[in-house]
Amino acid sequence: QREPLVLGIETSCDETGVGIVRGRTLLANAIASSMDEHARYGGVVPEVAARAHLEAMTPTIERALDDAGVALEDLDAIAVTCGPGLAGALMVGISAAKALAVSLGVPLYAVNHLVGHVGADLLQGPGLRETLGAVGELELPTVALLVSGGHTSLLLVRDLVSDVEMLGETIDDAAGEAFDKVARLLGLPYPGGPQIDRVAVAGDPGAIRFPRGLTRPKDLERHRYDFSFSGLKTSVARWVEKHEAEYGGASPLPVADVAASFREAVADVLLTKALAACSDLGVPRLLLGGGVVANARVRDLAHERCVAAGVELRVPPLSLCTDNGAMIAAIGARLVAEGHAPSGLAFGADSTLPV
Ligand code: KG4
Ligand code: ZN
């Protein structure tokens, strides 16, 4: 008996992702991004994202089928992100998934986006496992740190599909959002994460001590595993204002030092909290996911701190860290394999869906 062939659709933010898997084997991971259309607004515009998904959906499905070398009729199931995310954007993916499932007469599975990020670790394919750093199977439980432009969450995963617990999340901005906002302050284009990463290389991460949100003893009582980045962003803004007030045009803004110091603060707080969770819960494993995992300092510090703490670090390849349909398909295939009931057609988009 062959493993189920599952197509997964992801439209929670600005990426239209369509992935195809056979069991755990990755066959296709087609992505269309509307990032460029949001650039002039400095952030994702929900209405623009939804329209872009509608336009990209059919071509992206076709590309995924092409890449996988399969036909629509071969599919055994459809999986789709039902939340959390932008409601209008989610609805486009959900509608497409329902249409496919009904017309093909195959079951449909609604998948939580955050669970999908964790599911990226399931995927197998040429060269894929090697890039995980850890070649063996993901052992459970694991702590998962998901950081992107839309979310910053710390999860405890006991079972990939049925037991994922939210330990903490951002109480204001997502980490990627903070990167984008600070980049804007520094006159760098959107999306800001890669730009800050680029200019920070030439800077001194110790030049300015920016605050680490929610790490004071008083905050830790209530927010041990939560994050806050809006204070950090404000602190960078104040620093830039002060520099300009003091020096005017006489001394250019030390962009590299500001970027490096800011990046250091974000990486530090992310990994301090993630490793505190590993230590408190006695879980010697940490899985990373989300677009901010592309950050060079976040990656380096993750390796450094995990080695020091004796924690196994797993980092999916970047194409599976950023939002994609393959991770959704991977969870769908797992649901099929474990005999879970399909979701039916009555579900809708839930922009604040808990794990
Ligand atoms: O996962 P993703 O592609 O989409 C979602 O937001 O869901 O993440 C995009 C976010 C953006 O905020 C972007 O600035 C950030 O990830 N990002 C980075 C880097 N590359 C992308 N942040 C820091 N350093 C990077 N190298
Ligand atoms: Zn995501």
Give this complex's ipTM.
0.97
292 CB under 6 A from ligand 1? yes
289 lines ligand 1 (CB under 6 A): no
Q: Report the amino acid identity of residue 112.
A: N
CATH of domain 142-316: 3.30.420.40
Return the closest-CA partner of residue 28 out of 12, 49, 5. 5
Provide the pLDDT for residue 138.
86
Angle at 215 between CA 192 and CA 238, to 5 degrees: 45
Distance CA 123, CA 3 (A): 14
Pocket test for ligand 1, best of 81, 114, 292 (most atoms within 8 A of CB): 292
- pTM (2 d.p.): 0.95
CB-ligand 1 contact for 8 (6 Å cutoff): no
d(CA 268, CA 106): 46
Query: Which class is domain 5-126+320-337?
Result: alpha beta
**pLDDT confidence of residue 249:** 75
Asked if residue 251 lies in contact with residue 245, where contact means CB atoms within 8 angstroms, the answer is no
Q: How far is it, in rounded angstroms, from Cα 326 to Cα 353?
A: 20
Rounded to the nearest whole angstrom, what is the distance from the C-alpha of residue 250 to the centroid of ligand 1?
34
295: annotated binding-site residue?
A: yes
Confidence (pLDDT) at 213: 96
d(CA 30, CA 113): 17
| Residue of 179, 185, 315 with the most ligand 1 atoms within 8 Å of its CB, for mutation | 179
Measure the CA–CA gap between 168 and 310, rounded to whole angstroms.
22
For residue 283, how far is its CA from the centre of ligand 2 (angstroms)? Answer: 23
pLDDT value of position 129: 64
Separation CA 124–CA 319 (nearest Å): 13
Is there an atom of ligand 1 within 6 Å of 323 CB? Answer: yes
Radius of gyration of the chain (CA): 20
Distance between Cα 253 and ligand 2 center (Å): 33
CA-to-CA dists, residue 20 to 26, 86, 124, 327, 341, angstroms: 6, 23, 12, 9, 20
| Start-end of CATH 3.30.420.40 domains in the chain | 5-126+320-337, 142-316
Q: How far is the CA of 116 from the centre of ligand 1 (A)?
A: 17
Contact 14, 52 (CB under 8 A): yes
Mutate to test the pocket of ligand 1, among 148, 271, 321, 324 (most ligand atoms within 8 A of CB): 148
**Using CA atoms, how far apart are residues 10 and 79, in angstroms rounded to an integer?**
9
Q: How do the pLDDT tens digits run along the chain, 355 residues long?
A: 689 999 999 999 999 999 999 999 999 999 999 888 998 888 899 999 999 999 999 999 999 999 999 999 999 999 999 999 999 999 999 999 999 999 999 999 999 999 999 999 999 987 776 555 555 788 999 999 999 999 999 999 999 888 999 999 999 999 999 999 999 999 999 889 999 999 999 999 999 999 999 999 999 999 999 999 999 999 999 999 999 998 887 888 999 999 999 999 999 999 999 999 999 999 999 999 999 999 999 999 999 999 999 999 999 999 999 999 999 999 999 999 999 999 999 999 999 999 9
Annotate 146-172 with b (16+ C-beta within 10 A) or e (fewer).
bbbbbbbbbbbbeebbeebeebbbbbb
In b/e form, how buried is each residue of 210-235, taking b as 16+ CB within 10 angstroms? bbbbbbeeeeeeebbbbbbbebbbeb
Contacts of 204 (CB under 8 A, 6+ apart): 256, 257, 260, 261
Nearest by Cα to 328 from 89, 152, 101, 81: 81
Determine whether the annotation assigns residue 180 to a binding site: yes
Tell me: is residue 197 an annotated ligand-binding position: yes
Per-residue pLDDT at 135:
58
